[in-house]
Chains A and B, each alone.
Chain A
Amino acid sequence: MTIAAPAPAAVTASARQPNVLLDFVRQQPLGTVSFVIIFLMMFAGLFSALVAPYDPLDIDFASILGAPSWEHWCGTDAYGRDICSRLIYGSRTALVIGFTSSFLGSTLGAILGVASAYFGGKIDDWIQRFVDILLAFPLIVLALVVVAAFRKFTVGGVDVNLIVAIAIPILPRVARVVRAAALSVRVMPYVDAARAAGYSHSRIIFRHMAPNVVAPYLIMLTAFIAQAILAEASLSFLGLGVTEPTAAWGLMLSGNAADFYREAPWMILFPGAMISLAVFAFNLFGDSLRDFLDPRFKV
């Protein structure tokens, strides 16, 4: 009598190996859709010159206020510039400023939050009172103050002060959330062990505590990209962000658009839709990421 050998266990183990990307797609379909939108925006921003049908700065007085057509899918503006091309190039402005300011604000906020939780005592008190002061101002108001206080300082066509202006209001919000997460990490035995082993403060913060607050950090980072894009668009709309003729969504809603939106509603319709879509996509992606990373949300 022969007994059949059992199937190799390795096959089953291999089939069950977790695939983070596939899990995310399966568990977060809306998050996946938003990621696709973000990816398309990033692609358009990175390869604007290849994707855009026209140069966004090309003036064509013969096509002033042209309605959407096969030639100009989203119509033309008051200077005869192709709106579709300006939207594509505008995604570059939105993403560069949105991502950079969110990264800057979130990273500095995370460092401040972890340091605050780690040191505790008076340092924690001082940092938290400073955070309280910054939190007292709404994001856009604080950004407005910073932009108005500092003159433009452009590097490679990007206004560094605008990035800083948007990053500053993000900083306290991330600091507060990350501090809360870091407080629970701080009491972990391995942190005590590291302290007992005589490691430096910076080593404990960066090597042992920071990696354990990455999840809230990433969630805040993505969520604030949306806020930063909105802030950039608002500041540009108010004339304090990027200047003409740079293609930027907020800017496309102001200036001549305000004069001609009755005759040419496409001048405000498409940039408005792009801002909404970008904010929606980043917010949704941030929420999905939180649901995916937070074990409490797992079934």
Chain B
Amino acid sequence: MTTRRTALKGMAGAFALGMGGIHWDTATANAQAKPKRGGTLNFAISAEAPHYDPHASDTYATLHLAGPFYSTLLRFNLAKFPSVEGDLAQSWTVAPDLMTYTFKLLPNVKFADGTVLSSADIKATYDRLRNPPQGVVSTRKATFADIDTIETPDPLTVIFKMKAVNASMLEHFASPWNLIYAAKDLGADQAAPRTKVNGTGPFLFVEHIKGSHIAGKRNDNYFRQGLPHLDGFKGVFTLQAAAMLNAVQGGQLLGEFRGISPAERDRLVQTMGDKIRIEESSWTLNLLVCFNVEKKPFDDVRVRKALLLAIDRWGGSAGLSRISTLRSVGGVIRPGSPMATPESELVKLPGFAKDIKKSREEARKLLKDAGQENLKFVLWNRNLAMPYTPAGIFLVDQWRQIGVTVEHKQSDTGAYLATMNAGNHDVAIDFSNLFMDDPSLGLAKYLSLSRAPENRSRSNDPELDKLYDNHIRERDPEKRKAIIRAFEKRLFEQAYQQPLLWWHRIVATHKTLMGWQMSPSHNLGSQLEGVWLDT
């Protein structure tokens, strides 16, 4: 435990250092003002998720849709990120060998339908997450594969017993994606959370008008006394950035919690002056270049590697950061975070060299060796303007420079995810959407498809799986770092998928919107219970 605590403290310290120079004024603003009760928060959601089940999703669109209606077992304390605090859990203990986690639940917590929350609901939820039944997708199946049994000795106690040590398990219990569902609902239909909302969160579901908005009203039975402050909220789907900006400028919407581009920030500041609050942070999110290894010619490592070598990430970072939310060059861990690969080591990995001319010569040679000098393929992308479109434009240009012809196809979130999840893509711009810097989360996406359904390269690589398992069992931070380096080397040599660039988060909110907390992840803080309006 001591080693682990020391490591966490070190990580938190480094994180704080990493945030240096970044503008966060929410905490200060909140500390100075007394929350007011009432009002409806209108905010923008820039994508519409096809269902309400974050267990089966890795897009923020699902969380911003469903988050306010649910609770989780633990959650991150955003003011002290990345430390965790209880949500439904009143207290918890972790055995010194990290093999048993015991949670005591808050009493008298009620679901929206009036059912009282018990340990059976936690068990049913985590059983679904770690071992989803036929037809149900759990994107975090690999993360919870180490759970051996879940015991419920009494209605307010849950005991997780592990098969093996997972050094980051506590943080995974705080994952914003693990919304707690009612055992009763899951017993009737395991797929129910996709279409039915029934949670213990601060808000009650009112309506979801497709293509328009989702609305919630205050849950008067919410278990946190005096919360939420708001009477209700309305999340308006604004797929066009221009429409969202106009609405924020006009005061119809008070903000968008995912992130806006530098140009959009500048426009809001220019037009709204001191009425708008801007907060910035590096982002635990990257775009990935993802090859479907089940399709020819992407089953050939030479083709995949050639395409990665052709990308000038350093030049792209300098240019794209001026016009989009894409910014930093990095490996599988967020650049600047404690476990990230430093630049001096990164440039030695395939796809990260600074001499792009030399890399492209090698790329052309690899394509020639593979008999793919006139390669043509479709690049699948999401129709979210920021930053998917700039990334697509950039990649098409980079690949043209080694003689590859690319057709760029953009579709809405639902169709985009369906295409990739069904393995119908050749090459796609995927994303790695993390809520913390812990590598056990960042590496999980690259595990074999049999373990990680969100691996859209559809690769199966036992060597990567083994490195991942070694990593999550290891408690020594230095040894963990060494494993991460080996993992990245293997991943990039095999070129299944690779981060293109990491994002930079800019959030703009009206100054009348209070209590919302900025963090490096747009997946956190979607419950909105502490938000209030200073009007």
**Most B CB within 10 A of own CB, among A57, A243, A259, A262:** A259
Which of chain A's residues have a CB closer than 8 A to the CB of B239?
Answer: 239
Q: Complex: how many Å from CA A9 to CA B393?
A: 69
* Contact yes or no, B393 A244, CB < 8 A: yes
A208 interface residue per 8 A CB criterion: no
- Name the distance in Å between A148's Cβ and chain B's nearest Cβ: 10
Q: Majority SS of interface residues in chain B?
A: helix
Interface residues on B, range: 20 to 34
In the complex formed, the residue of B with least CB distance to A257 is B242
Which 7 pairs of residues, A with B, have the shortest CB-CB distance?
Answer: A61-B319, A259-B263, A59-B397, A258-B242, A245-B393, A78-B323, A243-B410
Q: Complex: how many Å from CA A260 to CA B242?
A: 11
- Give A250-274 as 1s and 0s: 1 = Cβ < 8 Å from B's Cβ atoms: 0000011011101000000000000
Q: Complex: how many Å from CA A255 to CA B390?
A: 9
Q: Complex: how many Å from CA A78 to CA B397?
A: 14
Asked if A259 meets B394 with Cβ closer than 8 Å, knowing A57-B400, A239-B383, the reply is: no
Which of chain A's residues have a CB closer than 8 A to the CB of B385?
Answer: 239, 255
Q: Complex: how many Å from CA A244 to CA B409?
A: 9
- Give B333-364 as 1s and 0s: 1 = Cβ < 8 Å from A's Cβ atoms: 00000000000000000000000000000000
A125 interface residue per 8 A CB criterion: no
- Name the distance in Å between B350's Cβ and chain A's nearest Cβ: 22
Q: Complex: how many Å from CA A245 to CA B405?
A: 12
B415 interface residue per 8 A CB criterion: yes
Which of chain B's residues have a CB closer than 8 A to the CB of A259?
Answer: 241, 261, 263-264, 267, 323
Q: How many A residues, CB 8 Å from partner?
A: 23
* Contact yes or no, A243 B408, CB < 8 A: yes
Q: Complex: how many Å from CA A79 to CA B393?
A: 9
- Give A220-242 as 1s and 0s: 1 = Cβ < 8 Å from B's Cβ atoms: 00000000000000000001000
| B positions within 8 Å CB-CB of A | 239-242, 261, 263-264, 267, 270, 315-316, 318-320, 322-323, 383, 385, 389-390, 392-394, 396-397, 400, 407-411, 415
- Name the distance in Å between B254's Cβ and chain A's nearest Cβ: 21
**17 residue pairs bridging A and B, Cβ less than 8 Å apart:** A57-B397, A57-B400, A58-B397, A61-B315, A61-B322, A64-B319, A79-B397, A151-B415, A152-B411, A244-B393, A244-B410, A245-B396, A246-B408, A255-B385, A255-B389, A259-B261, A259-B264
A80 interface residue per 8 A CB criterion: yes
- Name the distance in Å between B398's Cβ and chain A's nearest Cβ: 8
* Contact yes or no, A57 B396, CB < 8 A: yes
Partner of B323 from the list A79, A239, A243 (CB cut-off 8 Å) is A79
Which of chain A's residues have a CB closer than 8 A to the CB of B410?
Answer: 243-244
* Contact yes or no, A244 B323, CB < 8 A: no
* Contact yes or no, A244 B267, CB < 8 A: no
A121 interface residue per 8 A CB criterion: no
- Name the distance in Å between A81's Cβ and chain B's nearest Cβ: 9
- Name the distance in Å between B410's Cβ and chain A's nearest Cβ: 5
A27 interface residue per 8 A CB criterion: no
* Contact yes or no, B407 A154, CB < 8 A: yes
Which of chain B's residues have a CB closer than 8 A to the CB of A246?
Answer: 408
* Contact yes or no, A80 B400, CB < 8 A: no
In the complex formed, the residue of A with least CB distance to B396 is A245
**Most B CB within 10 A of own CB, among A61, A64, A255, A260:** A61
In the complex formed, the residue of B with least CB distance to A60 is B319
Which of chain B's residues have a CB closer than 8 A to the CB of A244?
Answer: 389, 392-393, 408, 410
* Contact yes or no, A260 B397, CB < 8 A: no
- Name the distance in Å between A264's Cβ and chain B's nearest Cβ: 10
* Contact yes or no, B393 A80, CB < 8 A: no
* Contact yes or no, B408 A245, CB < 8 A: yes
A18 interface residue per 8 A CB criterion: no
